[in-house]
């Protein structure tokens, strides 16, 4: 299915006023990755920075957020220790081996080529760093109410849009893309 591109520049003000951060995901990240003031964290597709800014404030880690939409970035809060820049998941404008954690929230279904993104994420990650992809599983899509009950057609549309979780948990191919040196990162990817 062809993915219809959403123009996030034009909906940036609406996103800024309605979008709520996924607090459970942030708590999990903080605890499972053990973030602290020496950690370096990259959020890909950070939008208005709601997640990365909360993480930076809570842990005092060094944060970076990347998003292709300058308008989305413009709605971000100014947080010391957080740098934001325009860029895309498929070509991260970063040096390799720097970050302890690379994560994304509700972005993976927008990407044309998830493998290229994971290759880029591994490149930006330090050895034994963690990658986390927050997205909607088939189970979540099928049980989103009231949409799934009153507009059941939306379920099939979204099942076609969102990459299935088992596909995202196929790190062997990703490791091959990145070379053996990153093999040990596989468990981190599988965990989430």
Query: Would you tell me which residues interact with ligand SAM (CB under 6 A)?
Result: 8, 19, 44-47, 50-51, 67-69, 72, 88-90, 105-107, 110-111
Nearer of residues 7 and 180 to ligand SAM, judged by Cβ: 7
51: left (phi over 0), alpha (psi -120 to 50) or beta: alpha
Least Cα distance to 125 among 93, 91, 102 occurs for 102
Least Cα distance to 69 among 90, 49, 47 occurs for 47
Nearer of residues 101 and 107 to ligand SAM, judged by Cβ: 107
Can you give the C-alpha Rg of the chain in angstroms? 16
Residue nearest to ligand SAM (CB): 47
Question: Cα–Cα distance between 30 and 157 in angstroms, integer?
Answer: 33
Q: Are 66 and 46 in contact (CB under 8 A)?
A: yes
Provide the minimum distance between the beta carbon of 122 and ligand SAM in the complex, in angstroms, as a whole number: 16
Nearer of residues 106 and 170 to ligand SAM, judged by Cβ: 106
Provide the minimum distance between the beta carbon of 90 and ligand SAM in the complex, in angstroms, as a whole number: 6
Provide the minimum distance between the beta carbon of 136 and ligand SAM in the complex, in angstroms, as a whole number: 11
Provide the minimum distance between the beta carbon of 93 and ligand SAM in the complex, in angstroms, as a whole number: 11
């Amino acid at each position: 299915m062809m993915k219809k591109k959403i123009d996030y520049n034009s909906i940036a003000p609406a996103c800024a006023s309605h979008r709520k951060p996924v607090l459970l995901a942030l708590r999990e990240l903080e605890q499972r990755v053990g973030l602290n003031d020496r950690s370096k964290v990259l959020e890909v597709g950070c939008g208005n920075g709601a997640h990365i800014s909360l993480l930076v404030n809570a842990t005092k880690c060094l944060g970076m957020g990347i998003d292709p939409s300058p308008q989305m970035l413009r709605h971000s809060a100014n947080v010391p220790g957080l740098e934001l820049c325009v860029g895309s998941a498929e070509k991260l404008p970063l040096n390799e081996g720097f970050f302890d954690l690379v994560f994304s929230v509700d972005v993976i279904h927008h990407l044309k080529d998830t493998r290229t993104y994971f290759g880029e994420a591994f490149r930006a990650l330090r050895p034994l760093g963690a990658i986390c992809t927050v997205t909607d599983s088939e189970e979540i899509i099928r049980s989103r109410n009231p949409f799934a009950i009153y507009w059941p057609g939306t379920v099939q549309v979204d099942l076609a849009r969102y990459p299935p979780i088992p596909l995202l948990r196929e790190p062997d191919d990703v490791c091959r893309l990145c070379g053996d040196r990153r093999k040990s990162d596989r468990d981190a990817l599988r965990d989430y």
